[in-house]
């Protein structure tokens, strides 16, 4: 999943993990979001498109997949397919870091 390399890159920018939900249509356009507006919209769009690719791949393989749950070290992504689109829940493991602002390392 390409968005993971962008989310967990090795650049010196430290960013809090996203927290909230995102609803995307079948094209991957964001319809609604409860994620802080300080979080980059292109990153949320990339997550949405990757989730839709997974649902599409499952359909092509004739696998009945309606919910997807991914667990990473500090982030859980849960997605449910809805009428070709998806609702995606982003949950950081450390709720204390959910609302902090980006900080640049020295």
DSSP designation for 53: H
- Whether residue 25 contacts residue 83, with contact meaning beta carbons closer than 8 Å, is answered with no
Q: Answer yes or no: is pLDDT of 104 > 50.
A: no
Type and span of the H or E element at 91: strand 85-92
**Reported pTM:** 0.74
* Domain regions of the chain by residue span: 37-96
Nearest to 51 by CA among 16, 85, 7, 93: 85
Q: With left for phi above 0 and alpha for psi between -120 and 50, is residue 20 left, alpha or beta?
A: left
- Summarised one tens digit per residue, pLDDT across range 48-76 is 999 999 999 999 999 989 999 999 888 89
- Summarised one tens digit per residue, pLDDT across range 20-37 is 999 999 999 999 999 999
Burial of 88 (0-12, 13-18, 19+ CB in 10 A): buried
The whole-number pLDDT of residue 100 equals: 44
The whole-number pLDDT of residue 98 equals: 44
Number of helices (H) and strands (E), helices first, in the chain?
A: 2, 7
Nearest to 83 by CA among 41, 35, 26, 1: 26
């Amino acid at each position: 999943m390409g968005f993971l390399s962008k989310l967990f890159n090795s650049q010196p920018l430290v960013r809090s993990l996203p927290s909230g939900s995102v609803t995307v249509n079948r094209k991957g356009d964001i319809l609604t979001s409860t994620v802080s507006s300080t979080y980059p919209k292109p990153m949320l769009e990339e997550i949405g498109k990757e989730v839709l690719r997974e649902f599409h791949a499952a359909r092509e393989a004739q696998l009945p997949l309606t919910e997807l749950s991914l667990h990473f070290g500090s982030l859980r992504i849960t997605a449910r397919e809805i009428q070709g689109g998806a609702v995606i829940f982003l949950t950081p493991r450390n709720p204390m870091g959910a609302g902090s602002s980006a900080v640049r390392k020295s």
